[in-house]
Copies of this chain bind each other. A is one copy, B any other.
């Protein structure tokens, strides 16, 4: 069911009932962009992952929210879905004005999927954070008190006096004549309207009611109507106040639904949930804290049971059978043997059907995610010999996946999730090196250099440096020794490199190489997974060599102090105020600014070489170069013949 500001108020109770009756809720969201500036790097820790997304993604707007509630039909023994597709646009009045980022490729992508931007802007439902709401409520209360007080008056500048006088006289005539119901004063700029408000208010206090009227074309005129009595003024004032409160409620808008979801404490499911979760918290609850631990507590407090189907599909028994966990690919895979999609009813006028095929409509994607989840859930149950179809939030089947948010970009480097309810994996990086090499080197030169030491994973940082990971971890020391006297390259162990960069953050690579995409190296072999299971006992993958000092994973619920208040507000302790952004170094500040991203090309390295020579000829080139140096190229895979470098959809941004 599509929900816009036109039907929001009447749909609200329906949504409340859907949430109330659901066994689990599935969400999906759409944004105006994905990442601004430096993207996550494959060896990043969950904390670095979070910080990168915080700095690079949270200034985009959340423009569509899909909610699909699954409730169990006891008689028919199957689920029914109630789905809602909300268009969201926080207009500035009376809510806070929003200034936000857009990424052209993201908008282009959404448009190609049939996203209706006109509907978004005209009909989108407003929203705001809790602190904004509190502040606006306080303001309105105070302002309404002050309506009767006198405010500072402005002396009328001489050159306006005759005009003001003219208009006041016309109003006087209108009030006396009793011919028309109302009088409009147009063709006045804001200053004139202010002066007239003041003058008419003084002269015709008891007989005229003056208000601003916004015409359909957004022009503003003054509207004067007659007052029958002072009682009339009072009731009109009351009416106006009432209307202002209604407008405020409308401006809080969708946030109410987000908070209902939170308050329900139900299992909330999403596919590749990280951005959905971050935007949901940041736009409807509170600005995200810069501190990662605070974020985890905050997120877990607001959504105490979450599940990411992309993470779920990346673990056994699904892992080996799922080639691509892009949502539509996953759905296709799960509809074939040995899996099967469940039969789902759709609520009259509110649910999706499988045949609807409205890919990338947030509501539909939420529905599809729900299907995938149920297919996987059923498969797990079947493997245990159960014919269990109904989902319970505390099911032992789900425990391995609960409260773990998939980290698509680092998943293949032993850092596959963020654990909201416990410690994150702390995989070894002993097999990873920071390497400096000659500028003319290409990927093959590096491959060549390491050819004796097995497959490697390369992440280029810039023209002369990269991170290199060995698949033969046992050879780390050998490699370090072997290259210690090499004159062309310099290897530094990853941990040492990170230590050096702890204060001086790594300069974002100003121009990434054409081949900066990582080479996949298999690290999570079934063996490794088994081994790590043995270590932590909770179906946890990854190889946590060092465990952080926080308590074990088996009791996640007890770890974070719950801080939910009755209104769903998360209270951060005084000692840890949550500033909206991390403090940025100069280098990083640049990242959050909008800029052009140039497509990487396979011939880029060479191109820029010969370019430089040509450019020496003209001054024009200097300018171009200056601009070029400021650009950053985002990491995405560049195919041999594809000219595009930016994939708009978050799904395709990850390797699988």
Contacts and interface: CB of A to CB of B under 8 A. Distances in A.
A68 to B, nearest CB: 21
A188 B324 contact: yes
B93 A131 contact: no
A641 to B, nearest CB: 6
Interface stretch (A169-177, A483-491, A530-538, A571-579): A571-579
Interface string A114-147: 0011101110000011111011101111111110
B652 A113 contact: no
A163 B637 contact: no
A136 B113 CA distance: 28
Contact of A134 (B121, B130, B144, B624): B624
B189 A652 contact: yes
Interface in A46-61: 59, 61
6 contacts: A93-B643, A100-B104, A101-B101, A194-B639, A197-B641, A571-B620
Contact of A603 (B91, B142, B193): B142
Contacts of A91: 104-105, 108
Contacts of A138: 607, 610-611, 614
A178 to B, nearest CB: 24
Given A140-B601, A151-B602, A152-B442, A619 B100 contact: no
A89 interface: yes
Interface string A511-548: 00001010111100000000000000000000000000
Contact of A324 (B59, B187, B216, B656): B187
B112 A580 contact: no
Contact of A189 (B120, B332, B655): B655
A112 B655 contact: no
Interface stretch (A76-84, A299-307, A429-437, A591-599): A591-599
Given A96-B597, A121-B111, A197-B639, A519 B155 contact: yes
Interface stretch (A15-23, A383-391, A626-634): A626-634
A649 B101 CA distance: 19
Given A218-B113, A573-B619, A329 B187 contact: yes
Contacts of A118: 111, 116-118
Given A99-B597, A569-B620, A597-B96, A190 B647 contact: yes
A201 to B, nearest CB: 7
Given A59-B594, A154-B519, A594-B59, A602 B99 contact: no
Interface in A603-617: 603-604, 606-607, 610-611, 614
Contact of A135 (B240, B455, B595, B598): B598
Interface in A410-456: 442-444, 447, 455
Interface residues of A, number: 163
Q: How many copies does the complex hold?
A: 2
B113 A92 contact: no
B593 A59 contact: yes
A644 interface: yes
A656 B189 contact: yes
A303 B159 CA distance: 36
A607 B97 contact: no
Contact of A578 (B105, B152, B626, B646): B626
**Centre residue among A111, A113, A323, A596 by max chain B CB count within 10 A:** A596
A580 B157 contact: no
Contacts of A628: 131, 135
Contact of A104 (B92, B443, B596): B92
A108 B136 contact: no
A203 interface: no
Contacts of A607: 138-139, 141-143
A238 interface: no
Given A217-B359, A606-B142, A607-B143, A187 B643 contact: no
A70 B276 CA distance: 52
A113 B603 contact: no
Contacts of A611: 135, 138-139, 142
